[in-house]
Amino acid sequence: MTPFFRMSLLALFAASLAACSVTQPSSDKLLPDAGPTTAELISGQKSRVSAYFGNGVQADYLGMPLTEGYAPNSSYSLAHVNELRRDFRKVPNPEIVAYVFPHISDGELPVPGYFTMFHLYERDHFALEQEGYHAAD
C-alpha cells in the first residue's frame, strides 16, 4: 500500500466517524404544536391569535382591531385608481408570439419546440394627453 492511499483511507475513515457523531435536530423542535393555524391568522380571529402573540398589544395600542382601517376596495380608493388610469394611459404594447423550433442546446441536449410570448417594447410607455391616446370617457 502506498502512503498516499493509506492517508486517503485514514481520512475517509475519520470523516465517516465524524459524520456519524453529528446529532440530528429533533423534529418536535422545528414547529410548535400550540398556536393558531394559518387559516386562523388570515381570517383574523383576534381572541385566539392575541392570546398566542401577547395579549393583543398592537390592537390595544392602536385602539382598534388590526384589520379595521384597511379597506383596499373602498369606493374612495377605486375613484383614485380610475383617475390615475384616466390621466396616465398606457401606449399599447402588443405581445408577439414566437415558435422556437426543436434544437440542440449548448450542452448538446435536445430541446423540444415550444411557443413563447414577449412584448414588442421592453417596458410600458405612457402617453401624454396631446398624443391621442386619451379618448373622452
73: Cα separation from own chain's centroid: 23
Q: What is the pTM of this model?
A: 0.33
Band (pLDDT 50/70/90 cuts) for residue 13 is confident
Confidence at residue 133, expressed as pLDDT on a 0 to 100 scale: 65
| Rounded-to-integer distance, Cα 76 and Cα 71, Å | 10
The average confidence (pLDDT) of the chain is 74
pLDDT tens for each residue of 47-60:
544 554 554 445 44
Q: Are 134 and 127 in contact (CB under 8 A)?
A: yes
Separation of alpha carbons 83 and 137, rounded Å = 11
Sequence spans of domains, the chain: 89-137
Residues 116, 117, 121, 125: is their CA dihedral positive or negative? negative
CA 114 to chain centroid:
26
- The pLDDT tens digits for 99-135 are 999 999 998 899 999 999 999 999 988 887 777 665 5
